[in-house]
Amino acid sequence: MSAITIDVQQLPHGAGLALPAYQTAYAAGLDLLAAVPKDAPLILEPGKYALVPTALTIALPAGYEAQVRPRSGLAAKHGVTVLNAPGTIDADYRGEIGVLLINHGAAAFTIRRGERIAQMVIAAVVRAELVTVAALGETDRGAGGFGSTGR
């Protein structure tokens, strides 16, 4: 497995929180933690969403992105997921990483300081050069869209 170095800065409201970490040897994502005040957890009511701070800024190398993805356990147990999944952090972004969570569950969900709320996957980016053409090459599928390959 290859690794890259990413500079990270923890903002003052993240004091005492651990940095994102892989939970197993082959995990693809680093867990992001909620940097909400200890004495003021965030209550996410059913059907509502909120931008949850992580108190982290990162400097990705050119040619990489960070994807913010849901944690399957939160989705399966509570119906809480990342609203804009996957969220994209570009290599030139230097602001705080925020996680946009939504509660699709039936009960309110409490987000406490230090809770693992999402995972961040670092991925290489390939940039495309778009070329205008008069027609596209033919394929067996053609213009078949939603459900066109189903039975």
User: What is residue 141's predicted lDDT score, i.e. its pLDDT?
Assistant: 86
Q: Does residue 151 register a pLDDT over 90?
A: no
> How many CB atoms neighbour CB 109 within 10 A?
20
Give the integer Cα–Cα distance in Å for 32 and 18: 9
User: What is residue 61's predicted lDDT score, i.e. its pLDDT?
Assistant: 97
Q: Does residue 74 register a pLDDT over 90?
A: yes
Q: Which residues pair with 118 in a beta bridge?
A: 32
Residues 90-124: pLDDT tens digits? 999 999 999 999 999 999 999 999 999 999 999 99
Q: Does residue 150 register a pLDDT over 80?
A: no
Q: Kindly list the domain boundaries of the chain, sorted by start residue.
A: 7-124
Compute the average pLDDT of residues 61-74: 97
CA angle, 117 as apex, 83 and 54 as ends, to 5°?
95
User: What is residue 149's predicted lDDT score, i.e. its pLDDT?
Assistant: 74
Residues 24-62: pLDDT tens digits? 999 999 999 999 999 999 999 999 999 999 999 999 999
Sequence length of the chain is 151
Residues 81-93: pLDDT tens digits? 999 999 999 999 9
In this structure, what DSSP letter does residue 137 have? P
DSSP labels, 6-70:
-EEEE-GGGTTPPPPB-SSTT-SSEEEE----TTSPEEE-TT-EEEEE--EEEEPPTTEEEEEE-
Class of domain 7-124: mainly beta
